[in-house]
Amino acid sequence: MSETLVIRLVTDGPGLVTGAGPIAGQAEWAVVDATGACVLAPGAGSLAEAAVLCANRRTLVLVPAVRVLRTRVDVPVKGANRIAQALPFALEDVLAEDVEELHFVAGTRFPDGQVAVAVVRREWMDGWQTQLATAGIQAQGIYADSDGVLDIAGNATLILERQHALLREPGGDPVVAELDSLVSLLELWLAQPRPVGEDGATPPRNLQVYDATVDGLPNAVWEQFQDRVESLEVRRLPDGALLRLAAAIVTCPGVNLLQGDYARHTSLGSHWPRWRLAAALVAGLATATVAATAADAWRLKRENAALEIEIRQAASFTFPGVEPGSDLRSRVDAALQGGDGAASGAAARQFLETLATVALAVTKAGNASIQGLNYRSGVLELQVRAPSADSLDSIRKLVAESGKLKAEIQSSNAAGDQIEGRIRISGNGA
């Protein structure tokens, strides 16, 4: 899901706000990619119209900054749950409203130990949730639109709209004020003491202004501040500030209000469409693996049966009278045991290993069969019938490929459409 639909709830239009709270009204939206670049032209209208664009996209909602207090506070405890429990007590002395009616949300912890905080009335959260649910919108995040003002090192950023001004000092929290109070807002900003840098010098003030008002503020507003800052640049945003806010909230999100009592709860079924293809691939792979394993087991069983037949055939030539159902290893050990038990045991093991190697080589050669064999003093004389001289040589190579045995073709003669050969097999040092 690389695309994000950013919906902004508009409150500065006529009839969009009542004394009891927000009502279902107008919104504006834009679709951006993971880098914040616009992939679908911005639109405006009802939330129902915006809901059409939610399919297969992450959805973020921006709510009016005038409804959300953004600040930071010292919270000595750690852990998301403990911080959330401590926030009402940490802020109750600076808030005029009953903390029971407020929703507190914690953001990131800064290097100085303070925690970013957002505070909003529960009635507003309930109203926004109702509007979104009525339109069929499930948001993954709800943020104050002031969180869409980027924190740019060395530059204060000011965004002007029809009724409000959003200001963010480098390293500070976003501030919202009525547009009519812009001059007072800037005076307060200039009056704040500047932190001293690591070199002991006070950093200069730089102001970047994005003017999204209808006609743009007159130059006279900026002329009174021109000499009081190091630099002041004003850029017009004739199409509005939405795209700039959307790009920032996607790349550098602020404090998500969907926490605590308003945390988004998802079911396993809601994730199924995204994982359906992966599940099908895994199921297909599992089926193929089981089938391949069964095929290998069947093949190995056949090879083992063929090998058993070759071993018994070879043993019957060397030890006439050995019954098919008897224990060949015991018979071979008994036949080969002599005065020196250790030496006899070693000879028995050598014979069995040689016999197993020969049987496997004859099986792999295909359509070959053992006609006779003679084993004396560690040397096995093997008589074998094969379809061709190449098959006979293949048996020789298969016997010798381990490096433990040496195999030589002593003779080969035509026998109808096949070849009868004699192969001498001995230890590699013999």
**Per-residue b or e along 65-88, where b marks 16 or more CB atoms closer than 10 Å to that residue's CB:** bbbbbbebbebeeeeeeebbebbe
- Tokens representing 242? 């939405």
pLDDT score of 13 more than 50: no
pLDDT for 248 equals: 95
Q: Mean pLDDT in the chain?
A: 83
- Hey, is 421 helix, strand or coil? strand
DSSP β-bridge partners for residue 233: 208
Query: Which helix H or strand E contains 89, and what residues bound it?
Result: helix 80-91
List Cβ neighbours of 173 (8 Å cut-off, separation of 6 or more): 70, 71, 72, 116
CA distance 42 to 40: 6
pLDDT score of 70 more than 50: yes
DSSP β-bridge partners for residue 38: 32
Domains of the chain with bracketed CATH: 4-265 (3.30.420.380), 283-427 (3.30.1360.100)
Per-residue confidence band for 37, with pLDDT thresholds at 50, 70 and 90 = very high
Least confident segment among 337-341, 347-351, 422-426: 337-341
- Hey, is 26 helix, strand or coil? strand
- Contact status, residue 366 vs residue 341, Cβ threshold 8 Å: no
Crossing angle (nearest 10°) for helices 389-400 and 341-365? 140
Q: Alpha-carbon torsion 271, 273, 275, 276, what sign? A: positive
Average pLDDT over residues 212-224: 93
From residue 175, alpha-carbon distances to 114, 157, 216, 301, 346 in Å are 18, 10, 21, 77, 91
* Residue-wise pLDDT tens digits, 185-195: 999 999 988 87
Percent of the chain with pLDDT over 90: 42
Average pLDDT over residues 225-238: 94
- Tokens representing 95? 């808030």
DSSP β-bridge partners for residue 412: 421
Per-residue confidence band for 4, with pLDDT thresholds at 50, 70 and 90 = very high
**Listed residue (44, 42, 255) closest to 148, CA to CA:** 255
Per-residue confidence band for 274, with pLDDT thresholds at 50, 70 and 90 = low
pLDDT for 21 equals: 41
From residue 247, alpha-carbon distances to 46, 55, 87, 244, 401 in Å are 22, 20, 29, 5, 67
- Torsion angles phi and psi, residue 53, rounded to 5: -90, 0
* Residue-wise pLDDT tens digits, 130-170: 999 999 999 999 999 999 999 998 899 999 998 899 999 99
Average pLDDT over residues 401-429: 83
The overall longest dimension of the chain from CA atoms, in Å, is 120
Instruction: Name which residue leads in pLDDT, 171 or 313.
Output: 171
Cα 380 to chain centroid distance, Å, stands at 61
Average pLDDT over residues 78-107: 87
CA distance 368 to 365: 6
- Tokens representing 423? 């192969």
